[in-house]
Amino acid sequence: MSGFLPENPGVLQMDVIAEIRRRHLVEKETISSLAIAFKLSRPTIRKHLKTVETPAYQRQHQPHPMLGSFHQQLHAWLEQEADLPRKQRRTAQRLYECLQVEGYQGSYTAVQRYVKGWKKKRSPHPTIKQAFVPLAFPAGETCQFDWSHETVELGGVVQTIKVAHFRLTYSRQMFVMAYPRETQEMVLDAHRQAFAYFGGVPKRMVYDNLKTVVDAIYAGKERRFNRRFMALANHYLFEPVACTPESGWEKGQVENQVGNIREWLFTPMAKFTDFAALNVWLAKRCCELAGRPHPEQTSRSIAECFAEEQPLLMPVKAAFDGYVEEMKRVSPLCLIRIDRNRYSVPAQWANSVVSVRLTADHVRIVADGAMIAEHHRRFGRDHLICDPWHYLPVLEKKPGALRHGAPFQTWDLPVAIKVVRDRILKQDQGDRAFVDLLLMAKGLGDNGLDALEVACDLTLQTGVISAAIVLNEMRRLTEAAKPKALDDTPASTPALTLEPVADCSRYDSLRSVCHVH
């Protein structure tokens, strides 16, 4: 029996303990002889003589030999992020990836054990976990949607953004896109972008009870969906489904994705110049993450499962015009206010009511069934977005506004036009003269500014700068081509059907009449 010993003398198997107890209690073998036979100390033999249940051994201190010099770095990261909001803290997996960048070559489990122990010391109370039923979805049927709030740095400014998450439940293919807000036009645009990315539309979309999606919650699953959102669903022909309130597990895949995306893409903090650059990067990362193994079909990647699911999605026949419409009154300054910013409207619509159609990135102004103005949408506060051409009718009556008018001070004109303008404004009645140039350019339509630029450049070459010379050059440039002169010689002489008869005697009769008078 002396040969039947565990590799670690401090940890005995239950069959060895049973042998010690049998030989002492039944065969009356002494403790000293048992200690010699099993190569154990006599106190250890006495301890195991009292052991009835299977002993549970646990290390009092877990060594981390592979962490080595990285132990301090890991501890510093944990302490540094301890006071951050939970969404901004790195998970054990993300910390492990960051340590690998620093040169760590150990395993993930060592990092995981250390992080678990560190968290246990700070929060000794265990959390109670719930149990769930595993779900299975057919290909092309269901997609889940959710929002998350992330912290990024855009253009050097740290700000909280909103990220729209989409998740196809069969293939696990994801799509995420960042927005400054969670307003309805953002929701509509996110769906348009997601369906274009997937190359199709699932049969069902699952949501929380978002205010931009659901207007009223009734008993059970009955909901009254927002009219504008239902226009989106009717356009793409998907069925909207709202979860039970406070039951996020009904769309657990996208809930899990929110945490993963935060870990994979937003910790540490992402830094980009603007939303456009951020969204290009997010779309690229979604493609890269699709190369990971499918969580259930582990022999295949997410991209391979998506290639199987994509043909089963409903085709996108036309993109949805995802705008939200509201009525606004134009101020006497030819401005409308939207989200604490002001946008210009053509002067002829001052003090009138117009329709404003907001999309995720544009502001379209409609009146009498036609679009009268369009601006790129700005976010933030107290921005003034003006189109100088909107104020040209006002300049015609008040040319002095050209010098100090806000729309004209930031007008990015071509260099040649700026030089001519500055020279003309120094002349007598220069305001009126330059306004006449702008009016003529406006009358030429879309190519008017180009024609004015060429005319100004030609005028600068002459060395004599005046509004009259610029106007003359513009007329010469835009003068319609003269029609070609017609050839007086006909191609062939037409033939007469009845040729006249030559009768000279008629002239003699006329002479006789004249002679009588």
User: 336 with 356: CB under 8 angstroms?
Assistant: yes
Q: How confident is the model at residue 515 (pLDDT cuts 50, 70, 90)?
A: low
Q: In angstroms, rounded to a whole number, what is the distance separating the alpha carbons of residues 99 and 80?
A: 15
pLDDT at residue 160 above 50? yes
pLDDT in tens, 218-239: 887 789 999 999 999 999 999 9
User: 192 with 182: CB under 8 angstroms?
Assistant: no
Write down the pLDDT at residue 5.
45
Name the β-bridge partners of 373: 365
Q: How confident is the model at residue 2 (pLDDT cuts 50, 70, 90)?
A: very low
More confident residue, 292 or 482: 292
294-322 b/e (C-beta count within 10 Å ≥ 16 → b): beeeeeebbbbbbeebbeebeebeeebeb
Average pLDDT over residues 26-43: 89
pLDDT in tens, 298-344: 999 999 999 999 999 999 999 999 999 999 999 999 999 998 999 99
pLDDT in tens, 98-123: 888 888 888 888 888 888 888 887 77
More confident residue, 71 or 200: 200
| Beta strands in 298-417, from DSSP E residues, in sequence order | 324-329, 335-338, 341-344, 353-358, 362-367, 370-376, 384-385
For residue 83, what are the contacts with CB-CB under 8 A and spacing of at least 6?
A: none
> Among 423, 425, 421, 424, which Cα is nearest to 413's?
421
Q: In angstroms, rounded to a whole number, what is the distance separating the alpha carbons of residues 97 and 104?
A: 9
Q: Which amino acid is at 442?
A: K
pLDDT at residue 126 above 90? no
Write down the pLDDT at residue 7.
41
Write down the pLDDT at residue 303.
96
Write down the pLDDT at residue 85.
78
Distances (CA, A) of 389 to 307, 423, 451, 474: 50, 21, 16, 19
pLDDT at residue 97 above 90? no
pLDDT at residue 517 above 80? no
pLDDT in tens, 470-513: 888 888 888 765 566 655 555 556 666 776 776 766 666 666 65
Q: In angstroms, rounded to a whole number, what is the distance separating the alpha carbons of residues 320 and 18?
A: 76
pLDDT at residue 246 above 80? no
- pTM, to two decimals: 0.69
Write down the pLDDT at residue 4.
45
More confident residue, 125 or 404: 404
Three-state SS at 224:
strand
pLDDT at residue 350 above 50? yes
> Among 320, 287, 282, which Cα is nearest to 196's?
320
pLDDT in tens, 386-424: 999 999 999 988 888 888 889 988 888 999 999 999 999
> Among 288, 279, 202, which Cα is nearest to 241's?
202
More confident residue, 497 or 162: 162
User: 328 with 337: CB under 8 angstroms?
Assistant: yes
Q: What DSSP element (H or E) covers 55?
A: none
Write down the pLDDT at residue 8.
46
Three-state SS at 179:
strand
pLDDT in tens, 39-82: 889 998 888 888 777 665 555 565 666 677 787 888 888 888 88
Q: Which amino acid is at 416?
A: A
Q: How confident is the model at residue 1 (pLDDT cuts 50, 70, 90)?
A: very low
Three-state SS at 49:
helix
What integer best gives the mean pLDDT of the chain?
86
Peptide bond into 268 cis (omega under 30): yes
Q: How confident is the model at residue 6 (pLDDT cuts 50, 70, 90)?
A: very low
- Range of lowest pLDDT (117-126, 130-139, 339-348): 117-126
